[in-house]
Amino acid sequence: MKLSGKVFIGFLLIIVGANILFSMIGIHLGSLVGLAIGAALLYWDIGAIRMKGNGH
């Protein structure tokens, strides 16, 4: 699955917006959102490395 930078940033903004909305009604998901963003960045970086090759 190939994600462009614009799609990834858009998805990230949706996640942050949902987190703010949930925080306004008393549901705090800060640590879960951080974990999900970190996992998404790791997945995106591994995909980019595989597209380029192994770097040797």
pLDDT tens digits for range 2-41: 667 787 778 878 888 887 888 888 877 777 777 777 887 7
Looking at residue 55, what is its pLDDT?
A: 54
**HEC string of the chain?**
CCCCHHHHHHHHHHHHHHHHHHHHCCCCCHHHHHHHHHHHHHHHHHHHHHHHCCCC
Structural domain including 27 reads: 5-52
| pTM of the complete model | 0.50
Looking at residue 49, what is its pLDDT?
A: 72
Give the number of domains in the chain: 1
